[in-house]
Amino acid sequence: MPKYELVFIVRPDVASNHAEQLAEKFTAVAKEKKAKIIKVEQWGLRTLAYRINKHRKGYYVMLGLETDGSVIAELERQMRISDDVIRFLTIRDDELTDEPSIIMAPKKTRRPSPEKTA
Protein backbone atom coordinates (compact mmCIF):
# COMPACT_ATOMS: atom_id res chain seq x y z
CA MET A 1 0.00 0.00 0.00
CA PRO A 2 1.29 3.54 -0.71
CA LYS A 3 2.77 5.63 2.08
CA TYR A 4 2.12 9.33 2.53
CA GLU A 5 3.41 12.22 4.62
CA LEU A 6 0.75 14.82 5.28
CA VAL A 7 1.82 18.11 6.86
CA PHE A 8 -0.72 20.72 7.86
CA ILE A 9 -0.44 24.15 9.46
CA VAL A 10 -2.92 25.37 12.06
CA ARG A 11 -3.61 29.05 12.72
CA PRO A 12 -1.36 30.51 15.45
CA ASP A 13 -4.18 32.26 17.31
CA VAL A 14 -5.70 28.97 18.51
CA ALA A 15 -4.50 27.17 21.63
CA SER A 16 -1.66 24.68 21.16
CA ASN A 17 -3.83 21.85 22.49
CA HIS A 18 -6.35 22.65 19.73
CA ALA A 19 -3.69 21.75 17.15
CA GLU A 20 -3.24 18.44 18.98
CA GLN A 21 -7.00 17.89 18.93
CA LEU A 22 -7.07 18.49 15.17
CA ALA A 23 -4.27 15.93 14.73
CA GLU A 24 -6.27 13.44 16.80
CA LYS A 25 -9.38 14.18 14.74
CA PHE A 26 -7.59 13.58 11.44
CA THR A 27 -5.91 10.39 12.70
CA ALA A 28 -9.30 9.14 13.90
CA VAL A 29 -10.75 9.75 10.43
CA ALA A 30 -7.83 7.87 8.88
CA LYS A 31 -8.18 4.95 11.30
CA GLU A 32 -11.92 4.81 10.62
CA LYS A 33 -11.10 4.40 6.92
CA LYS A 34 -8.68 1.53 7.72
CA ALA A 35 -5.46 3.52 7.28
CA LYS A 36 -2.31 2.55 9.15
CA ILE A 37 -0.89 5.47 11.16
CA ILE A 38 2.90 5.22 11.12
CA LYS A 39 3.68 8.40 13.04
CA VAL A 40 2.25 11.69 14.26
CA GLU A 41 4.63 14.55 14.98
CA GLN A 42 3.80 17.88 16.57
CA TRP A 43 6.41 20.33 15.27
CA GLY A 44 5.01 23.19 17.32
CA LEU A 45 4.68 26.89 16.59
CA ARG A 46 7.04 27.88 13.79
CA THR A 47 7.60 30.98 11.69
CA LEU A 48 6.22 30.75 8.17
CA ALA A 49 8.40 31.52 5.16
CA TYR A 50 5.77 33.99 3.97
CA ARG A 51 2.44 35.31 5.24
CA ILE A 52 -0.57 33.06 4.82
CA ASN A 53 -3.94 34.73 5.42
CA LYS A 54 -2.16 37.50 7.39
CA HIS A 55 -0.47 34.96 9.70
CA ARG A 56 3.28 34.97 10.27
CA LYS A 57 3.39 31.78 12.37
CA GLY A 58 1.58 28.49 12.54
CA TYR A 59 1.41 25.16 14.39
CA TYR A 60 2.89 22.41 12.23
CA VAL A 61 1.70 18.81 12.47
CA MET A 62 2.93 15.87 10.37
CA LEU A 63 1.08 12.59 9.85
CA GLY A 64 2.73 9.49 8.40
CA LEU A 65 0.13 7.20 6.82
CA GLU A 66 -0.01 3.95 4.91
CA THR A 67 -3.26 3.96 2.96
CA ASP A 68 -4.87 4.36 -0.42
CA GLY A 69 -5.70 7.60 -2.20
CA SER A 70 -9.35 7.75 -1.18
CA VAL A 71 -8.40 8.25 2.49
CA ILE A 72 -5.98 11.02 1.55
CA ALA A 73 -8.70 12.68 -0.53
CA GLU A 74 -11.06 12.58 2.47
CA LEU A 75 -8.43 14.01 4.83
CA GLU A 76 -7.63 16.81 2.39
CA ARG A 77 -11.35 17.54 1.97
CA GLN A 78 -11.77 17.89 5.73
CA MET A 79 -8.69 20.10 5.99
CA ARG A 80 -10.05 22.31 3.21
CA ILE A 81 -13.30 22.69 5.15
CA SER A 82 -11.62 23.42 8.49
CA ASP A 83 -11.24 27.10 9.33
CA ASP A 84 -8.26 26.36 11.58
CA VAL A 85 -6.06 24.70 8.93
CA ILE A 86 -4.40 27.37 6.82
CA ARG A 87 -2.27 25.09 4.57
CA PHE A 88 -1.61 21.41 3.99
CA LEU A 89 0.63 19.34 1.77
CA THR A 90 0.56 15.62 1.03
CA ILE A 91 3.54 13.78 -0.41
CA ARG A 92 3.67 10.15 -1.49
CA ASP A 93 6.78 8.47 -0.09
CA ASP A 94 8.37 5.16 -1.03
CA GLU A 95 10.03 4.66 2.34
CA LEU A 96 8.39 5.91 5.52
CA THR A 97 9.68 4.83 8.90
CA ASP A 98 8.53 5.49 12.44
CA GLU A 99 11.81 7.26 13.22
CA PRO A 100 11.63 11.00 13.95
CA SER A 101 11.75 13.30 10.95
CA ILE A 102 14.67 15.66 10.40
CA ILE A 103 12.85 18.44 12.21
CA MET A 104 12.21 16.29 15.30
CA ALA A 105 15.56 14.44 15.33
CA PRO A 106 18.07 15.60 17.92
CA LYS A 107 20.68 17.93 16.54
CA LYS A 108 23.96 16.21 15.80
CA THR A 109 27.28 17.88 16.17
CA ARG A 110 27.36 20.79 13.84
CA ARG A 111 30.04 21.39 11.31
CA PRO A 112 32.79 23.55 12.73
CA SER A 113 32.72 27.05 11.41
CA PRO A 114 35.64 28.00 9.20
CA GLU A 115 38.33 29.80 11.10
CA LYS A 116 38.84 33.39 10.20
CA THR A 117 42.23 34.28 8.87
CA ALA A 118 43.78 37.54 9.87
3-35+50-84, superfamily in CATH? Ribosomal protein S6/Translation elongation factor EF1B (3.30.70.60)
d(CA 58, CA 43): 10
* Residue 117 pLDDT > 60: no
Query: What pTM was estimated for this model as a whole?
Result: 0.80
pLDDT band per the 50, 70, 90 thresholds, residue 115: low
- Residue-wise pLDDT for 31-74, tens only, equals 998 888 888 888 888 898 989 889 999 999 999 998 888 899 99
Domain ranges of the chain: 3-35+50-84
C-alpha span between 40 and 6 (Å, rounded) = 10
pLDDT for res 10: 92
Taking the mean position of all CA atoms in its chain, how far away is CA 101? Answer: 10
